[in-house]
């Protein structure tokens, strides 16, 4: 039997991804209001990419028995995400306009706030014992 947890094994699994779902779902409405498209696309793309990358690293960190490896992977993930998001906001602000950078920063801040609030409310993920 596989040790990976399927998406449907947790009753509220979709709720853990609500930040990504909302970033994608509200994109057409936000862009129709005249928000800088480049900033929104870069902010949303950076958030989704780092969120997926973090999930892959978290799954990898769940496998080893060495606590140092787990701590290193989780530290790398947290700091790496912050750097990638910050750099993407900086680059879009410099390559596009300041409004693009501001839009990207707002998208990332809103998605992070939702991610953090739900993470606190739902508690840690429960792993199945093998």
pLDDT in tens, 16-66: 899 999 999 999 999 999 999 999 999 999 999 999 999 888 887 777 677
Cα separation, 7 vs 5, in Å, equals: 7
Cα separation, 125 vs 13, in Å, equals: 9
pLDDT for res 5: 47
Given pLDDT bands bounded at 50, 70 and 90, which one contains residue 11?
A: low
Where do the H-state alpha helices sit in the chain? 13-16, 18-25, 27-32, 37-62, 67-95, 98-122
- Closest by CA to 5, choosing from 58, 41, 53, is 58
Query: For the whole model, what pTM was predicted?
Result: 0.82
pLDDT for res 3: 46
Cα separation, 99 vs 93, in Å, equals: 7
pLDDT for res 102: 96
Give, as one character, the DSSP assignment of residue 96.
S
Given pLDDT bands bounded at 50, 70 and 90, which one contains residue 130?
A: very low
């Amino acid at each position: 039997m596989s040790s990976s947890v399927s998406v449907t094994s947790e009753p509220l699994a979709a709720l853990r991804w609500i930040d990504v779902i909302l970033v994608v779902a509200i994109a057409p409405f936000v862009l129709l209001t005249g928000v800088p498209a480049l900033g929104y696309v870069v902010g949303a793309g950076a958030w989704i990419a780092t969120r997926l990358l973090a999930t892959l690293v978290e799954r990898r960190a769940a496998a080893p028995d060495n606590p140092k490896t787990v701590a290193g992977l989780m530290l790398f993930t947290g700091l790496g995400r912050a750097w990638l998001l910050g750099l993407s906001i900086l680059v879009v602000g410099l390559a596009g306009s300041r409004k693009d950078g501001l839009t990207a920063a707002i998208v990332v801040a809103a998605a992070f706030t939702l991610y953090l609030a739900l993470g606190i409310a739902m508690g840690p993920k429960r792993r199945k014992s093998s």
